[in-house]
Amino acid sequence: MTEIFENYEIKNDTTFKIGGRIEKAAFPKTINEFIELLQSKEYDMVFGGCSNVLFSSGCIDKKIIITKNINNYEINDNQIKVECGTKGPLVSKYAKDNALSGFEFLIGFPGTFGGMVTMNASAHNQSISDCFISARIYDLKNDKIVTLYKKDMQFNYRHSIISEGEYIVLDAIFELKKGNINDIEELMNRNIQFRKQHQPSLSFGNAGSIFKNPANDSAGRLLDLCNMKGQEEGGAKIYEKHANFIINYNNATSTDILTLMYKMYSKVREKYTIILKPEIKFVKGNIEQENKLWQIIQQENIHQIQK
pLDDT bin (cut points 50, 70, 90) of residue 302 is: very low
pLDDT given at position 172: 98
pLDDT bin (cut points 50, 70, 90) of residue 203 is: confident
pLDDT given at position 304: 34
Query: Can you tell me the mean pLDDT for 126-132?
Result: 97
Query: Can you tell me the mean pLDDT for 165-169?
Result: 94
> Helix or strand or coil: residue 290?
helix
Catalytic annotation, residues: 158, 209, 279
With a pLDDT cut of 90, the percent of the chain lying above it is: 91
pLDDT bin (cut points 50, 70, 90) of residue 22 is: very high
pTM, two decimals, is 0.93
**How far are the Cα atoms of 283, 299, 304, 307 from residue 286, in angstroms, in the given order?**
10, 20, 22, 27
Kindly tell me if the per-residue pLDDT of 127 is higher than 80: yes
Kindly tell me if the per-residue pLDDT of 307 is higher than 50: no
State CA 93 to chain mean position distance.
Answer: 20
Concatenated DSSP letters of 150-209: GGGS--BTTB-GGGGTTEEEEEEEEE-EE--HHHHHHHHHHHHHHHHHHS--TTSB--S-
Query: Can you tell me the mean pLDDT for 38-51?
Result: 96
Which one, of 174, 3, 16, lies nearest residue 92 by Cα?
174
Kindly tell me if the per-residue pLDDT of 7 is higher than 70: yes
Tens digits of residue pLDDT in 255-283: 999 999 999 999 999 999 999 999 999 99
Query: Can you tell me the mean pLDDT for 2-31?
Result: 98
Query: Can you tell me the mean pLDDT for 130-145?
Result: 97
Tens digits of residue pLDDT in 182-192: 999 999 999 99
| 110 phi, psi to nearest 5 deg | -85, -5
Tens digits of residue pLDDT in 69-116: 999 999 999 999 999 999 999 999 999 999 999 999 999 888 999 999
Contact 238, 271 (CB under 8 A): no
pLDDT given at position 299: 80
Cα distance between residue 229 and residue 246, in whole Å: 9
pLDDT given at position 300: 55
With a pLDDT cut of 70, the percent of the chain lying above it is: 97
Which one, of 34, 46, 176, 171, lies nearest residue 98 by Cα?
176
Query: Can you tell me the mean pLDDT for 206-232?
Result: 96
Cross-strand bridge partners of residue 38: none
Range 88-126 burial, b when 16+ CB lie within 10 A, else e: bbbbbbbbbebbbbbbbbbbbbbbbbbbbbbbbbbbbeb
Angle between the N-to-C axes of helices 254-272 and 288-297, in degrees from 0 to 180, rounded to the nearest 10:
30
pLDDT given at position 188: 97
The H or E element containing residue 9 is strand 3-9
Q: Which domains does the chain have, with CATH numbers?
A: 3-66 (3.30.43.10), 73-195 (3.30.465.10), 219-306 (3.90.78.10)
pLDDT given at position 306: 31
Q: SS3 letters for 28-71?
A: CCCHHHHHHHHHHCCCCEEECCCCCEEECCCCEEEEEEECCCCC
pLDDT given at position 178: 97
Mean pLDDT for all residues in the chain: 95
Cα distance between residue 94 and residue 57, in whole Å: 36
Cα distance between residue 111 and residue 90, in whole Å: 11
